[in-house]
Homo-oligomer: A and B are copies of this chain.
Amino acid sequence: MRRPTRDDVARLAGTSTAVVSYVINNGPRPVAPATRQRVLEAIERLGYRPDTVAQAMASQRTNLIGLIVPDARQPYFAELAHAVERAAFARDHLVLLGNSAYDDERQLHYVRAFLGMRVSGLLLIRQGAAEPLVEEVSGSRTRLVLLHHRTDLINTDAVVADDVTMGVLAVEHLLGHGHERVACFDAPAGTPRTGNPVALRTKGWRQALRDAGIDPERGLLHRAPFDRYGAARAARRVLSRPNRPTAIFCTTDDQAIGVLHAARELGLRVPDDLAVASCDDIAEAALHHPSLTTVATDREAMAEAAVDLVLQSRQASTPEIRRFPARLVTRESCGCPPASDL
């Protein structure tokens, strides 16, 4: 009942253990076809699988990628995590998943645990400040790539979207529908803003208004929670005021869904009484009622780039930041006719 080892295979195949390793790893020495065949047959008969732990021990490498997200239940992160898993699978790596739950300590716990596992790469949608994380990782040979959040000033790679443009595209489109009071739902108060994609999207909102000759006045900028219920609560407040906006730009689809819910409760029709546009293009955006106008990014491509970066054993000379373009997807919530998505 003992799990077969390399020695068992060698014995059955009538070869030495070294040859078994050569066959498995295709090298570093050539093996004659006949011998290789005998070894493969022995492996097959014993149902031998090399022990990954022992391999990691000996080779000082693992086939593990650590991925830390704030909350894998949220569609955006779930889709990103899925894309990372696909990319890792294609490169014969496994994914260790941790949820930071928007908690700095928990995030640090996972970083340490993953380093302890000797992951060959660490992918992180960071929470809080970046410095402690980078410091924790420096000194290990493990590579760290930040996903989603940019980090200038910090010596680590990142894969991000062109967040400013995302805001600009969405807001320009709302302006194109004739709106002038376009509010913005930004990140909740207290969120660190350096390199934060949400802060950049808000910057895009500001920029688009200015370019249209409109003053991005303070009364239009709202700090709202990221979760749907929190966003709905915030929206109820904003929409109940006398001088309510005629359009809202949300920095995430999740917020937008909360806003739509609040609008419905208040008897406001979307898009007639209130237009909404947001960012991310999660799967739900297309099937929501009304469907969401949003700015999409190519998550698959971003995840692949991140995995490639993290597995690439290049010397870290200067941090590499890969930025991906954004694309507006018009649907009902802004006032465009519903596309036949199906």
Contact = CB atoms under 8 A, between A and B. Distances in A.
A232 B289 CA distance: 14
A73 B288 contact: no
A303 interface: no
B95 A96 contact: yes
Nearest to A341: B229
Contacts of A139: 1, 3, 47
A86 B99 contact: yes
Interface in A98-115: 98-99, 106, 112-115
Contact of A289 (B47, B62, B73, B289): B289
A233 B287 CA distance: 13
What is the predominant secondary structure among interface residues of chain A facing chain B?
helix
Interface in A8-30: none
Given A73-B82, A260-B289, A94 B99 contact: no
A54 interface: yes
A56 to B, nearest CB: 5
A116 interface: yes
Given A73-B78, A78-B72, A342-B233, A85 B56 contact: no
Contacts of A117: 52-53, 94
15 contacts: A51-B118, A52-B113, A52-B116, A52-B118, A53-B57, A53-B62, A72-B78, A72-B81, A73-B75, A75-B75, A94-B117, A96-B96, A261-B289, A264-B289, A289-B289
A81 to B, nearest CB: 6
A304 to B, nearest CB: 15
Nearest to A62: B53
B51 A54 contact: no
A333 B82 CA distance: 30
The winner among A47, A97, A258 for most chain B CB atoms within 10 A is A97
A182 interface: no
Contacts of A272: none
Contacts of A260: 289
Contacts of A51: 116, 118
